[in-house]
């Protein structure tokens, strides 16, 4: 199954009060294996960046000033998302911003039925524990030493590793991929229209040949006082 792990960065906490999404990072997974396909974009929010938000993600007004509007990238983003389930940490926050941006463009919001929230998964698995992305990465030994500030694509990559752990662990991918071509189509277009194909192999023979059966009978005939003969005579 294809799934998209994603994260957003914003100007604040509430799109209903005018806050906007300024970055989105998406990681594609097929069968809980990261395929290497991703989508990443910055957006001009058309409003000043609050100092508190900039301290979190480091995205300044100057940096975002020449970035495209969300409306100019919306169709491209939707094409990448397809109809796959969307996985996020505290997913209602990210869905709220994403759907607000889509609605401002006159596009239909993404159904909440597609939402998978890793906070909810972690709460079931670790009741009472800290559920932040940092805390859960520490719990599962996921390296985040290169994470100086929040970044949508980096956080999505960390979340993808966490999602694997929350849904079965790294071992779930063992033995599922035959070679480096698995998970990609032959045209190099990624896995969005993936149809996995495998070479047909003739089944190996598992029964003895007539010659082998004859040699076995000759060998058995040479054995004296065989235990199985005693068992047959006692029946």
- Look up the domain containing 101 and give its range: 2-173
Mark whether 216 is an active-site residue.
Answer: no
Q: Does some domain include residue 201?
A: no
pLDDT digit string, tens, across residues 153-205? 999 999 999 999 999 876 444 444 444 444 444 334 444 444 444 556 666 66
pLDDT digit string, tens, across residues 116-154? 999 999 999 999 999 999 999 999 999 987 765 688 999
CB 93 within 8 A of CB 21: no
From the candidates 72, 89, 150, 216, give the one annotated as an active-site residue. 150
Q: Does some domain include residue 188?
A: no
Q: Does some domain include residue 197?
A: no
β-pairing, 86-88 vs 115-117, is parallel
CA 206 to chain centre: 39
Q: Which CATH number goes with the domain that contains 112?
A: 3.30.420.10
- Residue 224 vs residues 110, 154, 219, 230: alpha-carbon distances, Å: 78, 73, 11, 11
Q: Does some domain include residue 121?
A: yes
pLDDT digit string, tens, across residues 13-29? 999 999 999 999 999 99
Q: Does some domain include residue 202?
A: no
Band (pLDDT 50/70/90 cuts) for residue 210 is confident
Name, in order, each residue with C-beta under 8 angstroms of 124's C-beta and a sequence gap of 6 or more: none
Q: Does some domain include residue 229?
A: no
CA 182 to chain centre: 15
Structural domains counted in the chain: 1
Q: Does some domain include residue 204?
A: no
User: Measured at the alpha carbon of residue 31, what is the angle toward residues 27 and 36, in degrees to the nearest 5?
Assistant: 35
Q: Does some domain include residue 40?
A: yes
């Amino acid at each position: 199954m294809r799934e998209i792990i994603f994260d957003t960065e914003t100007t604040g906490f509430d799109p209903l009060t005018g806050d906007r999404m300024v970055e989105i990072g998406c990681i594609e997974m097929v069968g809980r294996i990261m395929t290497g396909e991703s989508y990443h974009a910055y957006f001009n929010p058309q409003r000043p960046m609050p100092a508190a938000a900039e301290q979190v993600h480091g995205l300044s007004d100057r940096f975002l000033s020449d970035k495209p509007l969300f409306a100019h990238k919306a169709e491209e983003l939707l094409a990448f998302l397809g109809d796959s389930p969307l996985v996020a940490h505290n997913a209602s926050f990210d869905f709220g911003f994403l759907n607000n941006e889509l609605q401002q463009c006159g596009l239909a919001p993404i159904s909440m039925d597609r939402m998978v929230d890793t906070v909810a998964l972690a709460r079931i698995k670790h009741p009472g524990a800290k559920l932040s992305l940092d805390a859960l990465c520490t719990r599962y030994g996921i390296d985040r030493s290169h994470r100086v500030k929040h970044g949508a694509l980096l956080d999505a990559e960390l979340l993808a590793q966490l999602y694997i752990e929350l849904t079965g662990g790294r071992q779930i991918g063992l033995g599922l991929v035959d070679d480096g071509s698995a998970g990609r189509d032959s045209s190099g277009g990624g896995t969005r229209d993936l149809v996995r194909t495998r070479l047909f192999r003739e089944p190996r023979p598992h029964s003895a040949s007539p010659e082998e059966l004859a040699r076995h009978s000759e060998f058995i005939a040479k054995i004296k006082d065989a235990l199985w003969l005693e068992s047959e005579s006692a029946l």
